[in-house]
């Protein structure tokens, strides 16, 4: 399980059960138990389900990215951080 904070991170969907989500990217502005809310570069918002996706999460300072399976993001951010 990934226990970091995702809000404020840039992501790109690498694979998804819903093929229309592949290559969608943006800034995570909110997160629920089952969804990530992205703001895309054009200012639109997109709801991405956590399950059935693989994400590339861009790191802040070291410029390295992290590949995360959506299932690793199960639960709310508070639940994940508390472990």
* pLDDT, tens digit (0-9, with 9 covering 90-100), for 22-71: 999 999 999 999 999 999 999 999 999 999 999 999 876 666 788 999 98
Specify whether the CB–CB gap between 12 and 55 falls below 8 A. Answer: yes
Each domain of the chain, given as residue ranges in start order, spans 10-82
Q: What's this model's pTM, rounded to 2 decimal places?
A: 0.87
What distances in angstroms separate CA 46 from CA 1, 36, 40, 41, one per listed residue? 23, 8, 7, 11
Instruction: Specify whether the CB–CB gap between 77 and 5 falls below 8 A.
Output: yes
The superfamily in CATH containing domain 10-82 is Ribonuclease P/MRP, subunit p29 (2.30.30.210)
């Amino acid at each position: 399980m990934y226990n970091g904070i995702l809000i404020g991170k840039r992501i790109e969907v690498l694979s998804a059960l819903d093929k229309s989500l592949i290559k969608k990217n943006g800034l995570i502005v909110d997160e629920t138990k089952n969804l990530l809310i992205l703001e895309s570069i054009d200012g639109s918002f997109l709801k991405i389900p956590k399950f059935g996706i693989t994400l590339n999460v861009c790191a802040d300072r070291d410029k390295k990215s992290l590949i995360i399976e959506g299932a690793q993001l199960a639960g709310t951010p508070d639940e994940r951080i508390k472990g």
